[in-house]
Amino acid sequence: MNTRPPLLFALHGTQEYAARVARHMGLELAELEERAFEDGEHKTRALTSVESRNAVVFHALYGDDERSVNDKLCRLLFFCGALKDAGARHVQVVAPYLCYARKERRTQFQDPIITRYVAALFEACRVDRLTTLEVHNLAAFDNAFRIPTRHIESAELFAEHFARLAGDDELVAVSPDAGGAKRAESFRRALERRIGRAVGSAYMEKYRSNDIVTGTMLVGDVRERIAIIVDDLISTGGTLLRAGEACRKAGARQVHAAAAHGLFTGGPEILESPVFDQLVIADTVPPFRLPPELVSRRLTVLDSSAMVAAALKSEYG
C-alpha cells in the first residue's frame, strides 16, 4: 500500500486555485515545466520523480484570453499521459470546471455528443479518476465516463452562505428550469438543515429550440419571500434573468442568484440588472470577462477549495 501523500500538479491558469487546495491538505504543489515551441506545439513535464506515486493534476477547462478550451484540454491530457509513461501509479484530474459538459446529448440531426468523446480522450491518456464540480447534467456525466469519477455539488457551499442572510424571512429555492430541479432541491435541503426551518421551492418553465428560449410561467409561491435562484453556471445570463424577472413579477421581496461557474460570456448585463439583490458564484472560473469594479460591487465569489481538499483527503488520507 502506498502511504506517501500524492503529488499535486497545477497547469498554467489553475495554480492559484490548486495552491489553496494544497494548503488545506497541508501540502505544496510539485514543480513542472510547461514549454511552448515556435510552431505552436507544446510539452509539459514533471520536474520531480513520479515513479510509483499518486499524482493529482489540477486544470480548470475554460477558455480565456491566453488559451482556448481545446488548448487547455490537450495540455492536460498530454501531461497525464506523460505522468503515466513516467511510472505514476495513479493519476487523478481535478477539473473545477469541465469543458463540453453541456454538449451531453443530441439536440439536432447528427449532432455530436462531445461529453462522451472527451471521456474517451481521458481514458485513452490513462487518467485513472476525474473529480469535477457541479456538472450540467449529472446522469449524462456518469454515463459518459467509464473511469471512476467524483462529482462535488455546490449546494452546501451556497447553503452556508445564504444561511447567514436568512434572518426570520421565508426563503424559496428556485430552479430556472425543470431540468435543474434536482440541483435546486439539493440546495433547498442543505439550507433547511442549516437554518432549522422549512424552505419553499419553485421552478420556471423553459423551452429551447435553435438557441431560442421561451416559457414564462413560474411554478411555486415566492410572494413576500426571498427567492434564491440556483443554477450550475452563468453563461450569457439570459436564463437567470428570465427567472429573476418572473420572481419579481410574482411579488418576491428579494431575488438572489447563485451559480457554481461564472462564465459571463454575455458580458456585464446580468450584473448591471436591478433584478437581483445579489449574485453569487464559486471560484471555479475567475470573472475575467467583467470589469473589476463591477465585480467588487455586485458579485460575491465563494471559495470552493476547502470542499475539493476534503474530498481528496478522504481518498488519500
What is the spatial distance between Cα 159 and Cα 191, in angstroms, rounded to a whole number?
5
Handedness of CA 218, 220, 222, 227 (dihedral sign): negative
Distances in whole angstroms, Cα of residue 303 to Cα of each of 42, 200, 236: 31, 26, 23
Question: Cβ contacts of residue 214 below 8 Å, gap of 6+?
Answer: 206, 207, 208
Question: Cβ contacts of residue 253 below 8 Å, gap of 6+?
Answer: 169, 224, 225, 226
Active site residue 206: yes
The phi and psi torsions of 212 (rounded to 5 degrees) equal: -100, 125
Distances in whole angstroms, Cα of residue 296 to Cα of each of 106, 287, 301, 303: 39, 11, 9, 15
For cell 445579489, the residue is: 278
Distances in whole angstroms, Cα of residue 143 to Cα of each of 113, 147, 172: 12, 10, 31
Active-site choice (84, 206, 249, 313): 206
What is the spatial distance between Cα 69 and Cα 74, in angstroms, rounded to a whole number?
9
Supply the DSSP symbol for 180.
G
Residue 61 in grid coordinates: 477547462
Question: Cβ contacts of residue 140 below 8 Å, gap of 6+?
Answer: 104, 105, 115
Question: Cβ contacts of residue 117 below 8 Å, gap of 6+?
Answer: 100
Active-site residue list: 206
